[in-house]
């Protein structure tokens, strides 16, 4: 959850709209990445709106088997083709995980313009840098699990 929080922090500090995993379950505008017809349902760690594009953000902290990565990224490719999402960014603290994701994306033909990776250390550094530029008293009105607080 800490890695998801870092990604959410950067989105918030950049004034990007985002929804937590819990909110994604209730939001019909963010359909699952693979539907029941595929035998599995998956939702990203975070959904973000970046310049009117819907971007799924996946936090991957351990290396999955190559076949599972290919299946997941293939599902993302289908979701991108159906315009359910416009892109995918993966975040990890492990270079081997990011390398495996990049290889799998290439193997399933996920377009480079729709796929990116970020090192968790880079996300953390961006959050720290952006925090220095935020006015005192900035608040996002979110609960600790990332969902929006009703006010």
- Say what the pLDDT of residue 96 is: 96
| Cross-strand partners of 48 | 18, 55
Neighbours of 36 (CB within 10 A): 8
Which of the 8 DSSP states describes residue 50? Answer: E
List the chain pLDDT tens, one digit each, 151 residues: 788 999 999 999 999 999 998 899 888 888 888 654 556 678 899 999 988 899 999 999 999 999 999 989 999 999 999 999 999 999 999 999 999 999 999 999 999 999 999 999 999 999 999 988 765 555 555 554 554 544 4
Burial of 72 (0-12, 13-18, 19+ CB in 10 A): buried
pLDDT, position 151: 40
C-alpha 10/C-alpha 113 separation (Å) is 21
């Amino acid at each position: 959850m800490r890695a998801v929080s870092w990604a959410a922090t950067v989105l918030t500090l950049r004034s990007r709209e985002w929804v937590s995993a819990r909110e994604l379950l209730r939001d019909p505008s963010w359909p699952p990445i693979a539907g029941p017809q595929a035998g599995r349902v998956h939702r990203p760690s975070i959904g973000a709106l970046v310049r009117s594009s819907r971007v799924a953000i996946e936090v991957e902290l351990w290396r999955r088997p190559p076949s599972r990565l290919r299946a997941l990224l293939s599902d993302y490719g289908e979701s991108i083709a159906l315009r359910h999402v416009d892109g995918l960014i993966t975040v990890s603290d492990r270079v081997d995980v990011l390398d495996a994701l990049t290889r799998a994306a290439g193997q399933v033909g996920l377009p480079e313009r729709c796929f990116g990776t970020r090192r968790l250390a880079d996300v953390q550094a961006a959050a720290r840098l952006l925090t220095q530029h935020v006015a005192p008293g900035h608040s996002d009105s979110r609960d600790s699990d990332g969902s929006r607080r009703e006010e």
